[in-house]
Amino acid sequence: MTRNKVEICGVDTSKLPVLKNEEMRELFRKLQSGETWAREKLVNGNLRLVLSVIQRFNNRGEYVDDLFQVGCIGLMKAIDNFDLSQNVKFSTYAVPMIIGEIRRYLRDNNPIRVSRSLRDIAYKALQVRDTLTSQHSREPTVQEIAEQLNVPKEDVVFALDAIQDPVSLFEPIYHDGGDPIYVMDQISDERNKDVQWVEEIALREAMHKLNDREKLILSMRFFDGKTQMEVADEIGISQAQVSRLEKAAIQQMQKNIKTS
């Protein structure tokens, strides 16, 4: 029977190898004795395990390629930490680690959630504001609202900020039949221009010391606004490699700025 060809991250899943239990144990013995080539065989031989796990997360709206790469990170961690002396099948050990890695990714990439306590403070603050406005015929200060609620002023500020919906910089705020005025048109840069100019010189100098690949990745990510997946596709490497190179380049730039 032929398998349907499905490509994930450029991998033809119909051609993924399947390792027998004894083959797995032999490869682990070789890896743990220092033969590092066995690691790649173990990874390739267990990619089907990653595929089976990510099917559980198909309804999250995430790109399958992203989940697959994150699952592979969990697989590699499982391979590196597997204890052959324990009488446990590798799949039994690896699946929870792969699931854990994917759940961490989903948690870290979810939109910010406002806690129930912050929401409660915010809604009470809005009620107090309306009451005080009616009583005094003016908008109350944050301090007055905080005193009514018997909470620190900072908590009121944080709570009210937390329930505000984000506004796009390109949202029109005025339109008289001609060209609209957008939010971004009303935002000015109050920073000291001389300080900004010096900072830009330092950044250019720090970036100049990076290698060509690092320059390209940072340029595509922060000047062209591309995602890590888009950068990976364009230059022919994995998203995980883009992430590592990007992080290393930023760290190198920080060192260059400090020493310049």
The CATH number covering residue 142 comes to 1.10.10.10
Give me the count of residues in the chain: 260
Contact assessment for residue 60 and residue 126, using Cβ atoms and an 8 Å cutoff: no
Predicted local confidence at residue 193, as pLDDT: 45
Regarding pTM above 0.85, the answer is no
Structural domain includes residue 73: yes
Predicted local confidence at residue 103, as pLDDT: 83
pLDDT at 191 over 50: no
Structural domain includes residue 223: yes
Structural domain includes residue 215: yes
Round the average pLDDT of the chain to a whole number and report it: 76
C-alpha 208/C-alpha 253 separation (Å) is: 9
The CATH number covering residue 39 comes to 1.20.120.1810
Predicted local confidence at residue 229, as pLDDT: 81
Same domain, 16 and 95: yes
Structural domain includes residue 175: no
Tokens of 67: 């989940």
> pLDDT band at 247, cuts 50/70/90?
confident
Structural domain includes residue 74: yes
Element at 156 (helix H, strand E): helix 153-162
Percent over 90 (pLDDT), the chain: 3
Predicted local confidence at residue 2, as pLDDT: 39
Range of the domain at 149: 116-162
pLDDT at 170 over 60: no
Same domain, 104 and 120: no
How many domains does the structure of the chain reveal?
3
Q: What are phi and psi of 86, to 5 degrees?
A: -80, 140
More confident of the two residues 152 and 108: 152
More confident of the two residues 12 and 98: 98
Angle at 74 between CA 86 and CA 49, to 5 degrees: 75
Same domain, 20 and 36: yes
Give the residue-averaged pLDDT of 153-178. 63
Long-range contacts for 26-31 (Cβ within 8 Å, ≥24 apart)? 28/82, 28/84, 28/90, 29/84, 31/79
With CA atoms as reference, report the closest residue to 94 among 61, 132, 51, 134: 51
**In the beta sheet, which residues pair with residue 182?**
172
Predicted local confidence at residue 76, as pLDDT: 92
Contact assessment for residue 112 and residue 158, using Cβ atoms and an 8 Å cutoff: no
Residue indicated by tokens 């339109």? 175
pLDDT digits (tens, 9 = 90+) for 98-120: 888 888 887 766 555 556 777 78
